[in-house]
Amino acid sequence: MKAFILIIIQLFSYSIIQLFAQPAHEFSIYGGGGLSTFRYQLSSGDASGGYGGDFGVGYTCFVNDQWGIQTGAGLGLYSAKAKIDDLKTVTPNLADSEGNRFDLHTTIAGYNETQKAMFLNIPVMVQFQTQQQQGFYVMGGIKVGIPLSGKYASKNATFTNSGFYPDLKNWATTQEFAGYGTFKGQNNDGNLDLGVSFLLALEAGMKWRIGNNLSLYTGAYFDYGLNNVAPRNNLPFINYTADHPSDFTANSVLSTFADKINMMTVGVKVRLETCRKTSNARPSKARR
């Protein structure tokens, strides 16, 4: 993968050096959408994909009428869902308000969590087109995704807490003021600390000439994450504080039950592009 990335970067650098010597430059705006999600498996529960979009601006430097190198910047929107019907978890070695050590046992029922994220995607891609004005095109390369925001939220979950005190050999199960008992209709939300994503990017479709130096691209695109962007938190699922034991919260399943997360998108895209041609002709010498 590293060798492939180096080749793409070298090609892109060469296009910048030769910028003013190329026959055409295209500047574009684009938008697309479809399945745009995280791919992960949970140690407990089920995960499903969500929808999102891809919007941004681009620049393509053509080295001839058929081959070009594209870059730009875009916003990628991603979402996913997780569902846990019944789960038992233990948060060990906690201390209550009196300093007594205990293990918090929690049963979770009806837990549904949504995750949403926004990435700044920077592509470096090679484009091939059958004709300069109109025809079939295909693109391939990489995208670097920089996380801008990530959030999770769950609603109407049921948590049943009990505490086991190993020193006392005793269980606490009904003291709601201490965070024990059954708590219904629990809502939780928070931020996701996601990592930088490297994506394999492919796109193909048709290029249509719709005006003088103006083209419309319509196609389908596929991005697949090559690395793991999972939070490195290793957090317990339940957040418990001795000062406010009944106000416990839950962390995201991505921080607790998912070991590996890959980004993936499959969708359709529309790109409006304007072309600026560069003349390579040199002025002829005047005859005597």
Range of the domain at 51: 2-277
Residue 230, in any domain of the structure:
yes
Q: Which of 106, 99, 107, 236 is nearest to 167 (CA)?
A: 99
Total domains present in the chain: 1
For residue 226, give both structure tokens. 């090559």
For residue 180, give both structure tokens. 């024990």
Choose the weakest-confidence range: 115-129, 204-218, 248-262. Answer: 248-262
Report the alpha-carbon distance of residue 275 to residue 233 in Å, rounded: 47
Q: What is the mean pLDDT of residues 44-58?
A: 90
Residue 284, in any domain of the structure:
no
Q: Is 128 left (phi over 0), alpha (psi -120 to 50) or beta?
A: beta
The pLDDT, as a whole number, for residue 149 is 94
Task: Say if residue 204's pLDDT is above 90.
Answer: yes
User: Tell me: the pLDDT tens digits for 218-271?
Assistant: 999 999 999 999 876 677 888 888 878 888 888 888 888 887 899 999 999 999
pTM listed for this prediction: 0.81
Task: Say if residue 22's pLDDT is above 70.
Answer: no
The pLDDT, as a whole number, for residue 283 is 42
Residue 288, in any domain of the structure:
no
Give the side-chain half-sphere CA count within 13 A for 54: 29
The CATH number of residue 170's host domain is 2.40.160.20
